[in-house]
Structure 1
Amino acid sequence: MKILVTGSNGQLGSELKSRVKEFKSWKFVFTDVEELDITSAEAIETYIKKKGPFNYLVNCAAYTAVDKAEDEFEKASLLNAYAPGYLAKACKNHDIKLIHISTDYVFEGKNHTPYTENDETSPNSVYGKTKLNGELQVLMNNSESIVLRTSWLYSRFGHNFVKVMQKIGSERNKISVVFDQIGTPTHAYDLADIILTIISQTEEKKSNWKSGIYHFSNEGVCSWYDFAIEIMKLWNIDCDVEPITSDMYPQKAPRPFYSVMNKAKIKQNYSIKISHWKDALLKYKNLTE
C-alpha cells in the first residue's frame, strides 16, 4: 500500500513524516516542490506513472501567506486552486483516493454557532477565496475525494503562533494579542492522526471511505488572546498579555471573526474522539521537550 504526500516540508507533512514508523506495511512517498511541481498537470501525470501506483494522495501543499496573498492572487490561485484540481483529476485517472487539506478561511466569520460542512461559504480574503476555489476544483474533478477543513494549525515543525508567542514572550515584558477573533487551535499531530485513521479504516473496509467535506480542529473555543495566555502559562513565561481589538492590530487580509467548526460529521463517520485544544497544547509541549 502506497501513499503520496505533497507539500511534505510543511507543518502537517512533517508530522506525517514523523509517524511513518508506526505503519511498517505502508510505503510513504514524501514530495515537495523540489520533487514534484503540483502546479503542472503534466508533471503530476509523469510523476504518478513513474513512481506509482499509489493508493492514496494527501495534499498538504498550500500558499499560506495570508496577507501576502492579497498582492499575489495569481501565485496563491496556482497553488491553492489550480493545483488541487490537477491532483484531483490525476487521482481520478489513476484510481487514487485523495485527501485535500482546506481551511476555516472559506467562511466569512459572522456566525455565532459552529460552522457545519453545509453552511454557506463566503471568504473575505484572497487566501480564503483561493482555498475555496481549490475545494470546488477538487470535488468537481473527483467527487470521491475527501476535503478536510482545519483551523489555527501549529506543530513542532515550521513557523506558527505558538512558537512566535514563546519567542516574543521571552523577549518582552508585555505583548498585545487580539481577543475578538474566535476559533479553535489545531495541533498538526492530531490532524495527521485523523488522516492516518481515515486511511487505516479504509484499508480495513473500502466502504469506510466516505467522500465529501469534513471539519477538523481540536475541541473547544478560544480567542487568540486566550491561546496566548495558555501558552505563557504552560511554559512559565513571565509576560503580560494585553487583549486588543482587531482594528488595533491592522492586517492586510481580513480574518474571520468567528470560525469555530462543528466536527460532528467526522466524529460520527470515523468514530473518533478529539482532544480539547488545551490538552493538545500540553501534548505539543511534551513532544518538544
Structure 2
Amino acid sequence: MTALTELPAAAASYDDLVERVLAGGYGPDPRTRRISVAFTTRQAVRHEGRGSGYRNEVLSLRLAEAVGSCAVEPGELPDGAVEECVGADVARLLRHELAPVRVAALDAYLMHALPHGPGNGGHPCPLPAGTSLEKSRARAEAVVDLVGAEPGATVLVVGVVNSLLEALRTRGLAYVPCDLKGGTTEWGEPVRTDALAELGRCDAVLASGMTLGNGSFEPLRRHARHHGIPLVMFAQTGSAILPRLIGSGVTAVCAEPYPFFWLDGGRGTVHRYGGTL
C-alpha cells in the first residue's frame, strides 16, 4: 500500500490507537479488511556456546501483503483461536476476548496501512547472514544503539534476551533483568519478575513488544512519560504498533516484522524509529 504523505499524530496510548484505527484514522475501514491466513510459530533454541535456551510461540495474522504478530507463552493460546481469526474482519478481532489476537490484528492492520520504511518514519537496518547466535548479536547491536544512555547508567530490561544484556555490558551499562519467567541470566544474575517494582532505580527502560500481549506495556509507558526517562522497545510483537506511540512515552523502536531473525540464516532487516540515529 502507498505510504501516507503525512503521518498521523502519535496516539496517546494503546487504547487510543485502537480507537483511532476503528474510526478510520490510520487508513481503510478495518471492518472492510479480513484476515486471510492465521498461524502459529513455535521455536526452541539454545545458541552454540550458551548455557541456557528458551522457547517462543507466536500468533501471526496475515492481512493482504502484511503479517502482524503477537508472542504468547508456550501453550497459552487456546485450541481453535487460530481458526477463529481466519476470515474475520479486523474490527471484530480488535474486540476479541484474547489479548494476543487483538494485538496481532492491530499489528497486521498497521503493517498493511503504514508498512515499515522511510516513508512511514522507519530506517532500515540490515542484519547479516549467519548462525543463530551471530544474528542474535547483530539484532542486539541494532536495538542497543537506540538506548543512548551514558556508561554507568542502569537500564531496566523487560524481556530477557542474553544477547541484549551482552551488548549493554560491552557498553558499560548496568542493567536490571526482568522477565515473568524468572530464572537467571547467562552470567548467573537473578532475573526479577516484577518490572514495575524496579522502575525507580533505573535510568532507562528497554522492553520487549511482548509487553503488549501480557498487559505490562501501558504501566511502563505511563511511567516513562511521567518521569521523562527513555523507553526503547524491541518489537517482534507489535512491530507496526509501537512506532505509532513514539512521543507518548515511547522514545524509540527497533521493529522486526515476521519472519524473525531466528527463523532464517540469511540476511534480514529490522526497522528503527526514533532515537538519535
Which range, TM-score by smaller chain? Answer: under 0.3
- Structure with a larger share of its residues in strand: 2
- Per the normalisation by structure 1, the TM-score is 0.24
- Structure with a larger share of its residues in helix: 1
